[in-house]
Amino acid sequence: MKIIVGIKRVIDYTVKIRIKADASGVETNNVKMSINPFDEIAVEEAIRLKEKHPEAEVIVVSIGPTSVQETIRHALALGADRGIHVDTPAAPLPLTVAKVLKAVVDNETPHILLLGKQAIDDDCNQVAQMASALLNWPQATFVSHISLEGQTCRAIREVDGGLETLSFPLPAVISTDLRLNTPRYATLPNIMKSKQKPLQVLTLSDLGIEESPHFKVLKVSEPPARKAGAKITVEELVPYIKKVQAEG
Amino acid sequence: MRVLVIAEHNETTLRSATLNTIQAGLELAPQVTVFAAGQKIGPVVDVLSKIGGVERVLKAEAPELFHQLAEPVTQALETVASQFTHILAPATTFGKNLLPRLAAKMNVMQISDLTKIISADTFERPIYAGNAIETVQSLDPLKILTIRPTAFVPVQSTQQPAVNESLSLPPLSSPVQHISLESSSSERPELTSARVVVSGGRGLQTKENFRLIEELADCLKAAIGASRAAVDAGFVPNDYQVGQTGKVVAPQLYVAIGISGAIQHLAGIKDSKIIIAINKDPEAPIFQVADFGIVGDLFEIVPQLIKALKEQE
């Protein structure tokens, strides 16, 4: 069995972001970067599947500048077998990411394409659905449980107000939600070992992909700021709560 | 401008997020077309056709469309997509699951989770869990958009029923089999769409003490949330987590109890209309975003609050 996991390098979720003075985007220089948390859950799930199916191979793919190789090494230290870095000046739009993943999948023919449900920087929540459309594969998004039986997968999805169970044949695209697992930490020996694992570098033209302009970011601005309000007592608070309830 | 809104429903009732999405559509054009897919959806189509501003309802009915899985619904949508300039769906798990699939089939870069329509091609959307607002211009001839329901008021007006039209569909194939849908057993409102949310954090100290949060939530008919610290401490399951990597909420009233206000938690609540914080540490970051703060021991304050609310009923 072969599993491809897509991973994105993003600003660490504990960092308070700063918007650039020229409103062109969010400052990423000298900011702590990490693997997107949902992608880390995808890596963890792939490694758990590998632990159950020792013949399985786990390949991680990341798209972006050379710095994403650090994120790939992190996934290799967690237990992935090899990495593919698709070299682009910046992280492309989800549609391009989906096209890249399709091209990699066409070359590697995995059984599962496992992705985080959304990146915590652009919050798009698109790549898995788009990749499965381009591949014409079944999709299972926002998944909190996976079980495999031969070439059939059963997945539980987190949907608004409940849990939906689906069954589908492999190959398939699966996107992870928060409850799927709790990722492990990389141990020092595994971090050392990860440095020896193979990491292939490809370009968009190697994969026959042209990036086309689909949209322009006109500006990035601060959201309306919330102001610290008054410190009050329980007696003072109750009328405000009653007011909100009355409006319902 | 020809606007198509995809309706979300469960075969018998329309989900309210559809009304917010129609409202967003009506900011683009004076009238919209609505698309609904399912096995037998007469009652839903009747409701849709009477919503103000709906010009026509496209009905896609087939056994394969029961449960509205993304694969066959996308196939049905592909038969009509090119007739429109804008296709909208609510940014709920239904819309998020479906629409990017259609976008990829149409070679369009979807714009997710819009909170504001500036013009026919320019939109605002939150990024970094609402810590920044991105203004984007779509260059695609077809705009495919998901709409954050809480950012648009629901359509209230009604009208004489609009025409409805049954689509003739190609043979639909679904590689995915729907096994079951287990609705949350809780009688509480769903966290991401609740009007009132009461959340607890590490300040609760134990799992047992979380009952205090439940009791207050009962008084307020609220959904229950939690900080990541409370989830990590095992007080409540993961799906209670509110924050950047958990659920992003935007209720009318958010009550944070024993939550200090880590960045990732604040990112998930900042669109709440009113935030109330109860914390013993007057320096806790949560007070910087709270409209009303009570400094003190939650084990004294919350019971007082519950008592006061019950007395006034």
Do residues B15 and B8 touch, judged by C-beta distance below 8 A? yes
Q: Is B249 on the interface with A (CB under 8 A)?
A: no
Inter-chain touch A216–B308, beta carbons under 8 Å: no
Domains B3-166 and B191-311 share a fold: yes
What is the pLDDT, as a whole number, of residue A245? 81
Within a domain: residue A231?
no
Q: Which residues of A touch B245 (CB under 8 A)?
A: 13, 37-38, 120, 178
What is the pLDDT, as a whole number, of residue B186? 66
Within a domain: residue A37?
yes
Q: Is B234 on the interface with A (CB under 8 A)?
A: no
Mean pLDDT of A195-208: 97
Within a domain: residue A139?
yes
Q: Using CA atoms, how far apart are residues A163 and A173, in angstroms rounded to an integer?
A: 18
* Inter-chain Cβ pairs, chain A and chain B, closer than 8 A: 252
What is the pLDDT, as a whole number, of residue A242? 87
Inter-chain touch A216–B139, beta carbons under 8 Å: yes
Inter-chain touch B100–A223, beta carbons under 8 Å: no
Neighbour-count burial for B169-179, b at 16+ CB within 10 Å, e otherwise: beebebebeee
All structural domains of chain B with their residue ranges: 3-166, 191-311
Within a domain: residue A111?
yes
Contacts of B285 (CB under 8 A, 6+ apart): B260, B261, B262, B263, B266
Inter-chain touch A130–B101, beta carbons under 8 Å: yes
Give the confidence band of A160 by pLDDT, cuts at 50, 70, 90: confident
Within a domain: residue A72?
yes
Q: Which residues of chain B have pLDDT under 70?
A: 185-186, 313
- Structure-token pair, residue A157: 């999805």
What residue numbers bound the domain in which A16 lies?
2-217
User: Is residue A176 predicted with pLDDT exceeding 80?
Assistant: yes
Give the confidence band of A101 by pLDDT, cuts at 50, 70, 90: very high
Q: How many domains does chain A have?
A: 1
Do residues B178 and B67 touch, judged by C-beta distance below 8 A? yes
User: Is residue A248 predicted with pLDDT exceeding 90?
Assistant: no
Q: Using CA atoms, how far apart are residues A229 and A232, in angstroms rounded to an integer?
A: 9
- Point out the residue among B93, B263, B292 whose CB comes nearest to the CB of A232: B292
Within a domain: residue A176?
yes
What is the pLDDT, as a whole number, of residue A211? 86
Q: Which residues of A touch B290 (CB under 8 A)?
A: 228-229
Q: Is B113 on the interface with A (CB under 8 A)?
A: yes
State how far residue A178 is from chain B, nearest Cα, in angstroms.
Answer: 7
A residues 33-62 lying closer than 8 A (beta carbon) to B = 37-38
State which CATH number among 3.40.50.1240, 3.40.140.10, 3.40.190.10, 3.40.50.620 fits the domain covering B3-166. 3.40.50.620
Within a domain: residue A74?
yes
CATH for B191-311?
Answer: 3.40.50.1220
Q: Which residues of B touch A141 (CB under 8 A)?
A: 70, 93, 96-97
Q: Which residues of A touch B229 (CB under 8 A)?
A: none
Within a domain: residue A244?
no
- The 3-class secondary structure across chain B, one letter per residue, is CCEEEECCECCCCECCHHHHHHHHHHCCCCCEEEEEEECCCHHHHHHHHCECCEEEEEEEECHHHCCCCHHHHHHHHHCCHHHCCEEEEECCHHHHHHHHHHHHHCCCCCEEEECEECCCCEEEEEEHHHCEEEEEEECCCCEEEEECHHHCCCCCCECCCCEEEECCCCCCCCCCEEEEEEECCCCCCCHHHCCEEEEECHHHCCCHHHHHHHHHHHHHCCEEEECHHHHHCCCCCHHHEECCCCECCCCCEEEEECCCCCHHHHHHHCCCCEEEEEECCCCCHHHHCCCEEEECCHHHHHHHHHHHHHHCC
- Point out the residue among B132, B196, B287 whose CB comes nearest to the CB of A244: B196
State how far residue B26 is from chain A, nearest Cα, in angstroms.
Answer: 23
Q: Which residues of A touch B262 (CB under 8 A)?
A: 14
ipTM of this complex? 0.94
User: Is residue A29 predicted with pLDDT exceeding 70?
Assistant: yes
